[in-house]
Structure 1
Amino acid sequence: MRRPQSFPVIPSRDEILNLINAIQNKKHKAIFSLLYGSGLRVSEVASLKIGDICSKTMRVRVDNAKHNTNRYTILSDESLLALRDYFRTEFVNKSYSPCDWLFPGMDENQHIHVKTIKNTMIKLKTKMKMDSRVSTHTLRHCFATHSLEDGIQPVLIQQMLGHKNFQTSSAYLHMTSKSFMGVKSPLDSDRVE
């Protein structure tokens, strides 16, 4: 028996930007900018290495993602600014290599824990009075939905998200705002008299 499909909550672009702009911690701001700006899973952003970010090509390399796949996704200008701001404070007096964790945890030899990022989202959404169903994964859904609304081809979104099956990516078509897609209700059409 198939479970009924439920669609995730998709906050507006302004709500997501307000959420990111409300973050004071530079590390968290960089993390959440990457979650939304690159469409990363929380586990993917947590395990990024310094060398996975390429400002020359504006790409993020995602190694050992779901199903042991590797891919590239885009690096947004805003994410790069947040990363540079974070990097200046976190790595200023430290020696580092491209193989080091971009977001180290309490133990420098480990990356930040996924639960830390998820708990940060819980605090943020409560502070911002957002829908209780909003999660870190919501930012990935918003990346896909808002990209579709901007006219990005679904096949490119599939590649950036690392979906093996196109049907997984095409589900976002149902979540887009019809007003952004140029669809007009017959009730609103010009009437011929």
Structure 2
Amino acid sequence: MAAPPKKLLDQVREAIRIKHYSYRTEESYVYWIRRYILFHNKRHPREMGKAEMEAFLSHLAVEEQVAASTQNQALSALLFLYRYVLNQPFEEPLDALRAKRSRYLPTVLTREEVLAVIEQLSGVYRLVIQVLYGSGLRLTEGLRLRVKDLDFAQRQIIIRDTKGAESRITTLPECLIERLKQHLQGVKRLHQLDLEAGYGSVYLPFALDRKYPNADRDWIWQFVFPSFGLSRDPRSGVVRRHHLHETGVQRAVKQATRAAGIEKRVNCHTFRHSFATHLLQNGYDIRTVQELLGHKDVKTTMIYTHVLNRGGRGVRSPLD
């Protein structure tokens, strides 16, 4: 008896996993494709095309007033659907109304403000934020660090398969080396307890678990910042200890900012912005900062030079 055909969204998930996209990307793409189908009264995407895509994207921009990045994410999901699942790639550019891209300057803390926030943090959350600020990492990059990515001898961190599927090397603050070593001792004890309980495996990217069958239990592949409990992998169903969840760190930063009395909009990414700005203030050249941040285009890094010029670009107010 022939197996029933797979549902469309299951086909989408399968195509995403073949391309080794992250689980977060998988969830967001499925979400936007489902929204697209419901917007057009549950019509099958194969029956729709360029006009329906333009209508949906224009609705997001005009009626829902989403940010440009949100609209672009929806567009990417639909292009993926038609190109890799339905085999109907679009050759012509879409003529949808585009959300206006905002040009905002990122929030940057002074060094004193950074230290004040860190002072209000404790435990593993404090160490996570110290790594984000000290090395200029994105939150997901910090939480996905593996033991093998910390090079204490060279005082560097290797960020692997990050945004854009590329890797880079950034600095490891000397003042965090001993603290990280102590932290890893506790993580290793936890890993040993997991192994004794019949667990101890960790998610490996790019099907490395098939290429190296026992690598998922090796110490070097464990997360530097493991979660507090075991959980079931949503893709494989295997019970594992994943890394810390982003929301816990984000909540801790919000509370610490309030406790420090800082009246700025601060999130975890603020520490990466502050890292870059403070390096430029200390005289490091823009290309060095670009390399440490992993920006493909120096224009992206240039935003921090604009941050340095805030305050009327050095103009003295006549009121002063």
Paired residues for 1:18-167 under 5 Å: 18-25=116-123, 27-92=124-189, 94-95=191-192, 97-105=219-227, 106-107=229-230, 109-167=241-299
- Contact 2:121–2:252 (8 Å) recurs in 1: no
Asked whether 1:10 is paired with 2:108, we answer yes
- Contact 2:138–2:269 (8 Å) recurs in 1: yes
- Contact 1:38–1:76 (8 Å) recurs in 2: yes
Instruction: Name the CA distance, whole Å, in 1 between partners of 2:152 and 2:165.
Output: 25
- Contact 1:47–1:111 (8 Å) recurs in 2: yes
Quote the RMSD (CA, aligned, Å).
Answer: 2.4
Instruction: Select the structure that is richer in helix.
Output: 2
- Contact 1:44–1:65 (8 Å) recurs in 2: yes
TM-score by length of 1: 0.85
User: What displacement does 1:184 show?
Assistant: 6.7
Give structure 1 stretches of 5+ with no counterpart: 188-193
User: What displacement does 1:34 show?
Assistant: 0.7
- Contact 1:8–1:138 (8 Å) recurs in 2: yes
Deviations, residues 49-96 of structure 1 (Å, cap 9, x unaligned): 011001111110111110111111100112323313423444357546
Deviations, residues 105-140 of structure 1 (Å, cap 9, x unaligned): 122521111222112211211221223411000000
Q: Point out the structure with max Rg over C-alpha.
A: 2
Instruction: Name the CA distance, whole Å, in 2 between partners of 1:12 and 1:32.
Output: 15
Number of equivalenced pairs: 183
Instruction: Give percent identity, aligned residues only.
Output: 25
**Which protein, 1 or 2, shows the higher relative CO under an 8 Å CA cutoff with sep ≥ 6?**
1
User: What displacement does 1:3 show?
Assistant: 3.2
